[in-house]
Structure 1
Amino acid sequence: MEESKALNFTVRRRTPELISPAKPTPRELKPLSDIDDQDWLRFQTPLIQFYRRDPKMADRNPATVIREALAKLLVFYYPFAGRLREGPAGKLVVECTGEGVLFIEAEADVRVEELGEVILPPFAYLEELLYDVNGSGDILHSPLMLIQVTRLLCGGFIFAIRINHTMCDGSGMAQFMRALAEMARGSPMPSIPHVWQREMLLARNSPRVTRTHHEYDEVAKTKGTTISSHDMIYRSFFFGPTELSILRNYIPTHLQSFSTYELLSACLWRCRTIALQSDPEEQMRFILSINARAKFKPHLPKGYYGNCIAFPIVLSTARDLFSKPLGHTIELISKAKSYVNDEYMRSFIDLTVIKGRPHFTSINSYFLTDLTNARFNEIDFGWGKAAYGGTAKAINFSGIGNFLIPFTNKRGESEIAVPICLPKPSMEIFVKELDNMLMKNTNIRLLTPKF
């Protein structure tokens, strides 16, 4: 076993191995959809799950259980055992070779309880818990998935996974992981059917743009578009029933149909724009992240695990974010969200092909991803629900975005945690603005995670 030191604990890893499907699978080429192979999705995304000891599982090795379940599951999800190739005009295709996915078994001399009272990203020692096998992180010609199961002294374990994002979005990842957990608990097959059918999300025969898509606007850089990486700090903010109720009181009665995601999007976008001291005349951009499966006519079939993300843009001057009521921002967000329908998605897919799969505009942009509905924390391999389950990173998309993460506090109450990363001076302003919005009497909790 390979040994590596991470300050107060040691991780010992076995030699990485390739896990292939337990039975023969088709050898074929499977093109990705025209949403899957966009430039901005060509990266590896890590997720992590922390599990406490379960006495009834004391004689079971989680690595063995998950390794065996993975081989069985890959019979159904066999494209994951293949490799990506790039065809004409940059089109991505999965060559279903059955080579397998990378798997690492490891041990760490640490207990879950030692990782801190609250387990939330960023995880300072992620590289120890999800070892970057040499040559495994490429988009093409590399394993499409890497899993590391690290057993802990207490009898708990950490499950970490890295997936090539071109293969699936957050909903697809959650579907795969829930299926893996079902197989680990003894199910002979996944309860939700696995649906490939990427041809449903290809551009039309005559691609045409019929809707406005600010996602790909060409925006000139300005002096205020880049956030300095100097002196960056992390804080996690918690929004429970009390905080959400206070924020809802800012919104007029006729707008009360908004979602929690829309409310927190408006609040965090406003506070972040103020914290960065944006020029009042600058046009700011909020990028919505919407699961568009139900936007198509007919809806995509249950079990479709490819990327199906819409990200319409909300535009506002910094001045309007500073000075107008929060309800105004929520109206902008709700209106942009309502634009997403079947024709919008078809137009969006066509545009990506016409423009050669460009990256979305990141200048003056803020991206908020809602992970509360993915329920990664409820994934049960046989050891119960996770103490933490979800993204392994605190920020997404080059630091311009954050996640809404489901969280259960010590009293068993459901909350939403939002890890934020900003330069220290900006963080001080952000805290002040958020505290002012919460009327300074809610004792909003700020936390720098220990792990």
Structure 2
Amino acid sequence: MTEINTGSFLIKFTVRRREPELIGPAKPTPRELKPLSDIDDQEGLRGHIPVINVYRNDSKMKTKNPATVIREALAKVLVFYYPFAGRLKEGPGRKLMVDCSGEGVLFIEAEADMTLMQFGDALHPPFPCLEELLFDVPGSSGIFDSPLLLIQVTRMLCGGFIFAIRLNHTISDAQGLVQFMTALGEIAQGATMPSTLPVWRRELLFARDPPRVTCTHHEYDQLTETDKDKIFASNNMTQKTFFFGSSEVSTLQRFVPPHLKNCSTFDVIIASIWRCRTIALQLDPEEETRMICLVSARSKLKSFVPTGYYGNSFAYPVAISTAGDLCNKPLGHAIGLLRKTKESVTEEYMRSFIDLTVIKGRPLCTILRSYYVSDVTRAGFDAVDFGWGKPAYGGPAEGDTSFRSFYVPFKNHKGDSGIVINICLDSVVMERFVKELKKMLLEDKNDHHVLKLQTVSRL
């Protein structure tokens, strides 16, 4: 029996799972070793990432079992994406490669005695019942010699279902995973092959010989930890999920200076959160605060990365400001820093970044005094269709940490569309953060009406 607290009421339910099975390609596939790119095999990507897609009942599919449909399509799509059916190996110099053994990916069929309606507005990360919706099969979560994909399809009493998938991050980024899931959906609906054929070509993102750093990079800056940094990971952390609809975004846009009026909604929201978060942390004015700007580089690499490439292809340049400037200057200061930092990602920047990664030995990027928000609104999780239409929710399954948040598209029970962001902070710092964000949402300095800061229910 699992219990979920939605914030309004408690849900109790049971998940019954069949034995996990390995699904291999439906036809023979090449047996070969395929090296990963020098972006793929960074230390920070050597782990697994879970994603959840939630589908409502569709009357025209009432005779179909989604687990059966997806299981059969999975074997067929693995003929095209056969590296996913292999196992990861490590070669000389810690170089990663896939042994295309055809051993298969893990698949679990399950049933839950609850309905999707019982979730209410809680269909967003974090999913505390993740261990039920995506069972961690013993021995499956290793980096080497373990399945690269784990999939669980859980049918609900209402006829809807939850598709959960866990990916070894070294193989693909969010867009690459969506490409695979889209292909799976197309074949589930009767296609004989994916509309976009997969391309491996990881050698296109190898370091140059010899590697040479030609751009400025702060990703691997060596920073010294101090006692003040302990507040970023205290023993009293709390999470809150905030909803930004059209009203909230419109209010925040009042702080945008005229020369930055064409900035994105993402820039406005994230600049506001960065600023409020920094104020709440009460850093010294001269102390450095850093925003890691996760940038998909596919558009920057069109000249040599072909359509269908599904490897990791992102960079994370760093915007840096003193706490004093960020807190005391207008919001345009933070927005300008974010835009300038993202615009610095050119083709040459990517080449320089790859070279630096290899020179440094593929280390973790610097997260000390840093914060980053991963924007999944354009990844495409919310458009993956297995025959039951688009998902009610599609995207990250995990909650956030003190240095990372997800920027996720969301529609609440009222039908309002917007963005949800889950924030994780020390509970005292969280109180100050909420207070500062409420201040920004004051509609007009001459109007005493305060726009309500919307938090959404959590599982």
> TM above 0.5, one fold?
yes
Equivalent of 1:134 in 133, 138, 141: 138
Aligned-partner Cα distance in 2 for 1:75–1:399 = 40
The reply to whether residue 166 of structure 1 matches residue 162 of structure 2 is no
Distance apart, 1:232 and its partner CA: 2.5
Aligned length: 444
- Please give the alpha-carbon distance, in whole angstroms, between the structure 1 residues aligned to 2:370 and 2:452: 29
- Give 1:377's aligned residue: 382
- Deviation string for 1:159-185 (max 9, x for gaps)? 100000000111111111111111111
Cross-structure match for 2:310 = 305
Q: Which residue identity is paired with 2:409?
A: P
Q: Within 5 A, what are the aligned runs for 1:54-69?
A: 54-69=58-73
Answer yes or no: is the 8 Å Cα contact 2:57–2:160 preserved in 1.
yes
What is the match of residue 2 of structure 2? 6
Query: Does the residue aligned with 1:45 lie in a helix, a strand or coil?
Result: strand
- Distance change >3 Å, CA 98–CA 224, structure 1 → 2: same
**Distance (Å, rounded) in 1 between the aligned partners of 2:55 and 2:343:** 39
Q: In structure 1, give the amino acid aligned to 2:305.
A: L
Tell me the secondary structure at the aligned position of residue 102 of structure 1: strand
Gaps of 5+ in 1: none
1:204-223 aligned within 5 A: 204-223=208-227
CA distance in 2: counterparts of 1:209 and 1:388, whole angstroms: 41
Contact 2:196 2:308 (8 Å CA) reproduced: yes
2:6 corresponds in structure 1 to none
C-alpha distance in structure 2 between counterparts of 1:441 and 1:314, whole Å: 31
2:252 maps to 1:243: no
Q: Secondary structure at the match of 1:15?
A: coil
Query: What is the distance in 1 between the residues matched to 2:281 and 2:180?
Result: 38
Match of 1:441 in 2: 450
CA contact (8 A) 1:404 1:417 kept: yes
Q: Does the CA contact (< 8 Å) of 2:241 and 2:422 recur in 1? A: yes
1:421 aligns with 2:424: yes
Task: Give the equivalent residue in structure 2 for 1:16.
Answer: 20
Percent identity (aligned):
58
The alpha carbon displacement at 1:231 in A equals: 3.0
CA root-mean-square deviation: 1.3
Distance 2:234 2:77 in 1: 41
SS at match of 1:316: strand
- Asked if 1:82 is matched to 2:78, the reply is no
**Match for residue 119 of structure 1?**
123
Query: Per the alignment, in what secondary structure is the counterpart of residue 266 of structure 1?
Result: helix
Query: Contact 1:293 / 1:299 at 8 angstroms: preserved in 2?
Result: no
**Residue 324 (structure 1) aligned with residue 329 (structure 2):** yes
> What amino acid is the match of 1:193?
L
Unaligned 5+ runs, structure 2 = 4-11, 443-448
Q: 297-306 or 346-355, which moves further after superposition?
A: 297-306
TM-score normalized by the length of structure 1: 0.96
Distance in 1, Cα, partners of 2:27 & 2:378: 33
Q: Return the offset for 1:139.
A: 0.8
Q: CA deviation at 1:286?
A: 0.5
Deviation string, structure 1 residues 205-227 (Cα, Å, up to 9, x no partner): 11011111100000001222232
| Per-residue deviation, 1:412 | 3.2
How many Å separate the matches in 2 of 1:314 and 1:136? 37
Q: In 1, Cα distance between the equivalents of 2:240 and 2:47?
A: 25
Q: Aligned partner of 1:168: which letter?
A: S
1:301 counterpart letter in structure 2: P
CA distance in structure 2 between the aligned counterparts of 1:20 and 1:296, rounded to whole angstroms: 32
Aligned pairs for 1:14-53 within 5 A: 14-53=18-57
1:274 Cα deviation after fit? 1.7
**TM-score normalised by the chain length of structure 2:** 0.94
296 and 211 in structure 1: CA distance in 2 versus 1, 3 angstrom threshold: same
Q: Counterparts of 1:443 and 1:212 in 2: how far apart (Å)?
A: 42
Q: Is the contact between residue 234 and residue 448 of structure 1 (CA under 8 Å) also seen in structure 2?
A: no
Deviation for aligned residue 1:230: 2.5
The one of 277, 281, 289 aligned to 1:284: 289
The CA distance in 2 between the partners of 1:257 and 1:196, in whole Å, is 36
Distance 1:281 1:89, change over 3 A: same
| 415-424 vs 167-176, which moves further | 415-424
Asked if 1 retains the 8 angstrom alpha-carbon contact of 2:121 and 2:457, the reply is no
State the 1:433 CA deviation.
0.6
Aligned equivalent of 1:401: 404
- Return the offset for 1:296: 2.5
Query: Within 1, Cα distance between the matches of 2:228 and 2:172?
Result: 34
Separation of aligned partners in 2, 1:68 and 1:297: 34
The corresponding residue for 1:259 is 264
Paired AA for residue 277 in structure 1: Q
Cα distance in 1 for partners of 2:147, 2:121 equals 35
What's the offset of the Cα at 1:447? 2.4
